[in-house]
Amino acid sequence: MTDESIAKLRSLLTAYAERKASAQPPAKTGHGAAEQKRRACADSLRNIVRPVLDGFMAELKNAGHDAYPSVALSFTPRARTANSPETALASALMFKYDPRRGILVQREVKASPTKGRVVTATSDRIGTIGVDAVSTQWVETKTLAFIEDVLKAN
């Protein structure tokens, strides 16, 4: 990531933390166990699920079927209250291969149910680019826009 992208991400997260701190009392419970669980899940996805899916993709391709790689980022803002440790839902950003268009970026932003909004599972496309034109800057721009929208919705 570029220094500019890191600075923007940090400013978004700081603004979100300040907004939530002024709106709610601080949480009384730590989240060490939740962090350990998240890391264990990430390791399982990286070390167990991904190789299995890669194997299936290879077999499908060898059999003449279409199978394409994708990468996703799930993001759950922490909006903690004394009564409920997690009030936000997981939003997702997906980078997928589309054989007709190149790399497709799709997002699913879910607002917190405590905001009184109806939670829907709809997603929208926020960009498409040719495979040979993909750059780190393009991915960072799409990712920062996604994180900003999730933080605004929560």
pLDDT, one tens digit per residue, over 114-143 is: 666 565 555 778 888 888 888 989 999 999
pLDDT tens digits, 63-111: 999 888 788 988 888 755 555 555 678 889 999 888 888 898 999 988 8
Cα–Cα separations (whole angstroms), residue 100 to 91, 105, 107 = 26, 14, 19
Helix (H, G, I), strand (E, B) or coil at 84: coil
What are the DSSP E strand ranges found in 24-154? 70-75, 91-98, 102-108, 124-129
Mean of all residue pLDDT scores within the chain: 81
Cα–Cα separations (whole angstroms), residue 125 to 67, 78, 92, 128 = 20, 25, 12, 8
pLDDT of residue 60: 86
Distance in angstroms (rounded) separating the CA atoms of residues 150 and 109: 6
Distance in angstroms (rounded) separating the CA atoms of residues 40 and 4: 30
Indicate left, alpha or beta for 77 from its phi (over 0: left) and psi (-120 to 50: alpha). Answer: beta
